[in-house]
Amino acid sequence: MKTNYFTINVSVANIYGEPDFTSPVVTQGLLGESCNILEENDNWVNIEQWDHYQGWINKKQGVHSKKIYDYNLTVFEMDGVVIQRNGNNIIRDLTFGNKLIGKPKNGGFDLILPDGEKGWTDTLLGNMTEKPSRNSIIRLARSFLGTPYLWGGKSPNGFDCSGFIQSIFYTFNIELPRDSYQQAEILNKYKIDRDDVQKCDLHFFNKNDKISHVALAEDKEYFLHAQGWVKQESFNKKSPNYNKDLDSQYAFSVSMKEVLNS
């Protein structure tokens, strides 16, 4: 049977540059994401994700299907579990941003996982109906403070700088590219002076004449970003969390006003 989609069936799946576990991780996919299949190689599938990022995922971490996994719920807690429908076994762990098919039942949710297995969870699930605002985006971003840095990471298990930014905005149904240089390219038309920055605008940083880092502004001086871990730092030289290196690598800032209002 020819299938068009590969749907991720674990809470967080590493996606590799080559079909080999020893290959570098280029990004991650989350439970419930249906990806286009580009090719297959033994126990590996080359996929294209919603952000057009491509890479290799092990076949055991997802399922083939002719149709997308038509999820209706998003996980809003940092972690949780799915319990077997007719038993007590944990059949899946959950993390923020996972997508699921389900309906309310007994103070929780009955679920159907991408592989068809049925379960139940009392984890907080729902739909993002809140219109994105600068305050709500900053509030979400701050909830990840302390999360470790992970190259290719885009979950509460670990973020890289651009995965952190992409994941925050994606929660509010705003799609940004995967890498910081790609984000800079599409937002370049919204450049502003650093003195005009408001909370939720973005800062981009340059290394060897290439955009290599991105941060989320809290105000004109303070910003949130993933470097070592998700942290708050500052451009203010008098601040105890002044980041001298990033201040010297600063490239430009962009206003997110148009993106938030679109």
Residues 6+ apart with CB under 8 A from 78: 95, 96, 143, 156
Neighbouring-strand partners of residue 111: 102, 119
pLDDT tens-digit map of 196-237? 999 999 999 999 899 999 999 999 999 999 999 999 999 999
DSSP string, the chain: ----EEEE-SSEEEEESSSSTTSPEEEEEETT-EEEEEEEETTEEEEE-TTS-EEEEEGGGEEEESS-----EEE-SSEEEEEETTSS-EEEEEETT-EEEEEEETTEEEEE-TTS-EEEE-S-EE---SPP-HHHHHHHHHTTTTPBB-TT-EETTEE-HHHHHHHHHHHTT----SSHHHHHHHHGGGEE-GGG--TT-EEEEEETTEEEEEEEESSSSEEEEEESEEEEEES-TTSTTB-HHHHHHEEEEE--HHHHH-
| Residue 63: other Cβ atoms inside 10 A | 18
Q: Mark whether 114 and 61 lie in a shared domain.
A: no
Q: Mark whether 27 and 113 lie in a shared domain.
A: no
Residue 70 lies in a domain: no
pLDDT tens-digit map of 102-144? 999 989 999 999 999 999 999 999 987 778 899 999 999 999 9
Nearest to 13 by CA among 63, 55, 57, 71: 57
Q: Mark whether 118 and 139 lie in a shared domain.
A: no
Structure tokens at 143: 């909830």
* CATH number of residue 233's parent domain: 3.90.1720.10
Q: How far apart are the first and last CA of the chain?
A: 40
Q: Mark whether 241 and 155 lie in a shared domain.
A: yes
* 113, 104, 73, 77 alpha-carbon torsion, rounded to 10°: -100
Structure tokens at 50: 């919603």
Q: Mark whether 40 and 82 lie in a shared domain.
A: no
d(CA 99, CA 125): 9
pLDDT tens-digit map of 186-199? 999 999 999 999 99
pLDDT score at 66: 94
Q: Mark whether 256 and 188 lie in a shared domain.
A: yes
Residue 180 lies in a domain: yes
Q: Mark whether 210 and 116 lie in a shared domain.
A: no
Q: Which domain holds residue 9?
A: 5-65
Q: Mark whether 151 and 119 lie in a shared domain.
A: no
Residue 195 lies in a domain: yes
Q: Mark whether 186 and 252 lie in a shared domain.
A: yes
Q: Mark whether 23 and 105 lie in a shared domain.
A: no
Q: If pLDDT is split at 50, 70 and 90, which confidence band does 87 have?
A: confident
d(CA 233, CA 225): 8
Nearest to 122 by CA among 171, 76, 168: 76
The answer to whether 61 and 45 have CB atoms below 8 angstroms apart is no
Residue 162 lies in a domain: yes
* CATH number of residue 50's parent domain: 2.30.30.40
Residue 71 lies in a domain: no
Q: If pLDDT is split at 50, 70 and 90, which confidence band does 2 have?
A: low
Q: Mark whether 122 and 138 lie in a shared domain.
A: no
Number of domains in the chain: 3
Residue 167 lies in a domain: yes
Q: Mark whether 16 and 120 lie in a shared domain.
A: no
Residue 183 lies in a domain: yes
pTM of the model: 0.94
Residue 72 lies in a domain: no
Please compute Rg for the chain using Cα positions: 19
